[in-house]
Amino acid sequence: MRSKLRLATVASVATGLAMGSLLAAPMTQAADNTIVMWVDEKRADTYRELFADGYRGYQVNVVLKDFGKIRDDLSTVTESAAPDVIVGAHDWVGELAANGSIVKLNISKRAIQETAPYALQGFRYGSGIYGMPTQIENVAMITNSNLIKKQPTTFADVSKQALALKKAGKVTVPFAVPQGTNGDAYHMYPLFSGLGGYVFGTNPSGSVNPKKVGLDNPTFRKNENLINKWNKTGLINSKVDYGIAKDAFVAGKSPFWITGPWEYDTLKALKFKYRVTAVPAIVAGIKAVPFLGAQGMMVTKYASAHGVQAGANSLVAEYMSTAAAQEKLAAADKRTPANKQAAAKISDPLLKAFAAAGVGGVPMPNVPQMASVWGSLGGAWVNSTKGKGAVPAQKSFAQAQAAVVKAIG
């Protein structure tokens, strides 16, 4: 039986959610009859509301956790204090599945059919699916419509207009894409993909092949001199971190900003008109696309030890896959639902614009080897866009490729 401490913040006494036949069948329950969920601050209230009457005879205890600490804390928590379900990002799956912290889900045909394929693929590891995606996100290019009257259709035009505004003294940051001291390969990815770069190749089945590293592939090498040009002209500078990029755009001192729906409230509060689009083509024939991310829920290994695995699996794989549940999450957290029916009902023009900007994007690799990529790829961008004394892109990205290949072994 689990510690009474885990029951101190029980969301409610379960009476069962009215979800028709989906929730009708009884389940074998644990002695303390509680499913414990670790949830971040932005979504905690929504989950408490969703499970205010419990779930299929289980009590649901929603425990507030810092999103950034959920994955790390799961590896150190004691069994008595451990969660049965966690909220997390799809790129955690490789690590958590490999070390046994999360378990495969039993997912119905209905849930699979109703979920965006790439989002579900993000939670797949090996032969199993280890989480149910609930929300989708990606970055887009935000354009200040007061500064840029006509939306650029090529990145060359983006560069031309941005540098002209800087030369005229109207802006301080011509292209606000975050980097900073440690780099930011995630926000830089549309520029990387637009030059022909990729992180890992894929196997015939579509799964990630970490043995095929594309940080400095032949197509990218043909186009990487553009990075040297961006550095020389000052279009992109690695000294611009997230705070500088955001502040400059909000103040009207940058015409373009690369960010995502997590800045929904910031964008809504802007005092000038703006547009949300994909980054336009940098090189003819290559689409500049962002990383695609999915967030969702996973069942931990502790659910079995606590005697609630069947209930936890049903809560995550069945109920949280439904349009009704994901619509409520979307309203609270301003992300596009992974459920296709719920996504089709989104009427918010800002969320629809972000979704459109992600079309054709690349699911962020969820394999453990991705941990070896972030620093090297982000560092290559930093080294080649730091202004005076920058390392030529040809050298910095070749070094990044070699470092990742070596780290993966």
Q: What is the pLDDT of residues 216-245, one digit of tens each?
A: 999 999 999 999 999 999 999 999 999 999
Same domain, 9 and 120: yes
Same domain, 102 and 8: yes
Same domain, 337 and 205: no
Same domain, 309 and 348: yes
Same domain, 241 and 383: yes
Q: Give the residue ranges of the chain where pLDDT is below 70.
A: 1-32
Asked if the structure places residue 377 within a domain, the reply is yes
Asked if the structure places residue 282 within a domain, the reply is yes
* CATH classification of the domain holding 340: 3.40.190.10
Same domain, 107 and 38: yes
Rg (C-alpha) for the chain, rounded Å, is 23
What is the pLDDT, as a whole number, of residue 12? 38
Number of domains in the chain: 2
Same domain, 209 and 266: yes
Asked if the structure places residue 165 within a domain, the reply is yes
Asked if the structure places residue 19 within a domain, the reply is yes
Same domain, 150 and 75: no
Asked if the structure places residue 359 within a domain, the reply is no
* N- to C-terminal Cα separation, the chain: 44
115 token code pair: 């979920």
Asked if the structure places residue 363 within a domain, the reply is no
Same domain, 60 and 146: no
What is the pLDDT, as a whole number, of residue 2? 54
Q: Which domain holds residue 152?
A: 140-289+373-408
Same domain, 397 and 251: yes
